Structure 1
Amino acid sequence: MAGAQVQKVKEGDDTFIPIPGMEEASLKIYQSQVLLPFSLANGSVHAFLGPFAGQNTKRYGNTLLPEDSTTLPFIYSSEIDLNLFGDTTKIFRAFPPVKERHLSWLARVEASMSSEWKETGIFEFIQLAKFDLHLFDPQMLLSAIFFWNRETRAFEFPCGFICPTLLDVAAITGLMPIGERFYPDAFEEEISIKDTSISWDKKTYLAFINAHMGQPGTPVSPSEHIAFLMYWLSACVFCTPSLQVPKYYYNLAQALHLQRKICLSKLLLASLYTCLDEASESLARESGPRNLSGPLWLLQLWLNALLEKKLHLPSKPIPICELEGARLTTLTPRKRLVDNFEKYIRAILSFTDFTEDLAPFIRPNLIGPTWLRQNNQVGSISPASTACGLDSCPGM
């Protein structure tokens, strides 16, 4: 462009740079640029092409902190209509069923398969199904979801970002944070689904139990064990929105039946993050959230642990069970009042500094499996180190 000739405008004395003759392809490139003129010492005017910042140019957001207002926590909304959250029955339909529905089947299968469950690393986790996982406080859950940031995938508390971690999952469920990765599409079936006696026309929870629970005094067959694990994964772990036992849990149930040491803790945590994203997004809908699914029972127990001291949540005696999750089920408030929104929001906003309350499972009297109590060295971590060392890694 340095060779372009300077011309005079007929109606005045202004100088301009004429558009040179170009092929169509080159002209398109030229039209996406802007001419930046400059003068030399001898008075000659030249120009070079610079970028043209059009209105449709893509903005690259901050990859660490959100710039898109649609991903900000719902608590930043200009108006929050609590009437949208009045019918909590429709919002939280997918919580685990009452324990009485499956206790007999669980006891029957456990009598035959407890050693296999211990070898696989799921024995403690399955014990949680004997407790009141179906209980939840909708106002507490929704108050926390108000603070969920879908960009950072964490709760945006005043003290910083807080989120459930694998340590929290380990303490609540007894699941190890390590293990074999599970790829459903790559899993090679050793027991063909066609060779089992699983009835696929009985998918609702109660119908599935009645169809697959063996008679007293009879041995537990591989088909019955896989069917039980499928029910447990669907109803008590991942909490499917259809309230049915889908086929896609067959491979995972078979892998656990074959004593494959799948890292179930990572699957559980990832599922919780996904359902928190979906729940947070649903808050902004005109109709409000409906039929939230996923392991929100895990969120309830985690919040119980975080708010236990701040809200003085009363606990009740439980049967002997070496698991934090079992104790935390007794902390879930029973009274469901819309006025509790304010109480829970204020409690969350009071976390202006990262305290040991936000790391409830770092303590010497932790209840849990031997490997967790002895190997994670929680007893040697002081509150002082928690305040400074964990401030950069909230939630751990």
Structure 2
Amino acid sequence: PGILRVEQAMSSSWVEAGIFEFIQLAKFDLHLFDPQMLLSAIFFWNRETCAFEFPCGFVCPTLLDIAAITGLAPIGDRFHPDAVEEEISIKEDKKTYLAFINAHVGQPGTLVSESEHIAFLMYWLSACVFCTPSLQVPKYYYVLAHALHLKKKICLSKLLLASLYTWLDEASESLFRESGPRNLSGPLWLLQLWLNAILERKLSLTSSFTPTCELEGARLTTLTPRKRSVNNFSKYVNAILNFNQFSKDLAPFIRTSLIGPPWLRRRNQVWNMTPDSVEMWFGFLSWDVIMSGMR
């Protein structure tokens, strides 16, 4: 109910900020994981190259993968965590996520206030995007939530990719500690959906459910294996070891049947590209130093 109330009032703002499709993804079960699939992939992560070391070479999620899964564009303003234009009162002393939401949600029939919208975005960033280990909504998401509230086109895709790489580094390192792996946090959902995409054909992952959301991420949420078995870990490792050559499975979003925003599905011919398309693909192909600034 909370997301629908805010969406009705703020959907146009979300479109302008470039996050409308991504927020729709929160309506699906992003927190359904296959722990053995995640663990099998983490064993192949190389912290020095920030990539999975498969038999065919180095492979990793990219901005193109994030665009297909979430609808986030690879372009936008760089996020500056210390840039706050004005303070809007947010009740940050609430001990749980539910208490935080209840403290800011407006009454039915009333307008969505600035503080309610920012509080919603803080909750979304914390619980659905970066998946913080904190038991309450951290204060440090306020600046980013406030920028999105002001409809600033922050390049959220690069923040998300950097956060995923940071989490993979921590997860990989924890596997080799004497104390063993600890509870991990971060955008596990993104790794799960990416693995669903590259292993879809090898593992014959199928689903009869057809999501109404026009995003690859929504479809991929339905492919996460739900049946747990002690043999799954070895099955997933063997599937990865079978990537002896780079195949189209490792580039799952380069296809004509892609589901996603129009700018991503557009057939671009080098001799007939619009300036907007050139800018978008320049964002995919140009190098950059990315830091999450998130925890």
TM-score by length of 1: 0.67
Q: Is the 8 A contact 1:157 1:349 kept in 2?
A: yes
Q: Deviations over 1:253-299 (max 9, x none)?
A: 00000000000000000000000000000000123211211111000
Change (3 A) 1:219 1:207: same
Amino acid at match of 1:329: T
Amino acid at match of 1:138: P
Given candidates 56, 61, 65, the residue that maps to 1:159 is 56
Which is higher, the Rg of structure 1 or of structure 2? 1
* Partner residue, 1:246: 138
Q: Matches of 2:182 and 2:119 in 1, distance apart?
A: 29
Given candidates 265, 275, 281, the residue that maps to 2:167 is 275
Where 2:78 maps in the other structure, the secondary structure is coil
* Partner residue, 1:95: none
Given candidates 69, 85, 88, the residue that maps to 1:189 is 85
Is 1:223 aligned with 2:120? no
Q: Matches of 1:125 and 1:346 in 2, distance apart?
A: 32
Where 1:127 maps in the other structure, the secondary structure is helix
Q: How far did residue 335 of structure 1 move? A: 1.7
Q: Matches of 2:18 and 2:136 in 1, distance apart?
A: 25
Is 1:117 aligned with 2:17? no
Change (3 A) 1:321 1:203: same
Q: Is the 8 A contact 1:166 1:269 kept in 2?
A: yes
* Partner residue, 1:257: 149
Q: Is the 8 A contact 2:25 2:213 kept in 1?
A: no
The correspondence of residues 345-364 of structure 1 with structure 2, limited to 5 A, is 345-364=237-256
Amino acid at match of 2:85: E
Amino acid at match of 1:238: F
Q: Matches of 1:303 and 1:239 in 2, distance apart?
A: 18
Q: Is the 8 A contact 1:154 1:161 kept in 2?
A: yes
TM-score by length of 2: 0.89
Is 1:178 aligned with 2:70? no
* Partner residue, 2:282: none
* Partner residue, 1:147: 44
The correspondence of residues 1-396 of structure 1 with structure 2, limited to 5 A, is 104-185=1-82, 187-190=83-86, 192=87, 195-196=88-89, 198-374=90-266
Larger relative contact order, structure 1 or 2 (CA cutoff 8 Å, min sep 6): 2
Q: Matches of 2:84 and 2:23 in 1, distance apart?
A: 25
Q: Matches of 1:203 and 1:126 in 2, distance apart?
A: 24
Q: Is the 8 A contact 1:125 1:174 kept in 2?
A: yes
Q: How far did residue 148 of structure 1 move? A: 0.1
Where 2:58 maps in the other structure, the secondary structure is strand
Q: How far did residue 189 of structure 1 move? A: 2.0
Q: CA RMSD in A?
A: 1.3
Q: How far did residue 183 of structure 1 move? A: 1.0
Amino acid at match of 1:305: A
Q: Deviations over 1:49-93 (max 9, x none)?
A: xxxxxxxxxxxxxxxxxxxxxxxxxxxxxxxxxxxxxxxxxxxxx
Q: Which runs of 4+ in 1 moved over 4 A?
A: none
Task: Give unpaired runs (5+ residues) of structure 2.
Answer: 270-295
Q: Matches of 2:122 and 2:218 in 1, distance apart?
A: 22
What is the aligned length? 270
Q: Matches of 1:217 and 1:318 in 2, distance apart?
A: 33
Q: How far did residue 373 of structure 1 move? A: 0.6
* Partner residue, 1:9: none
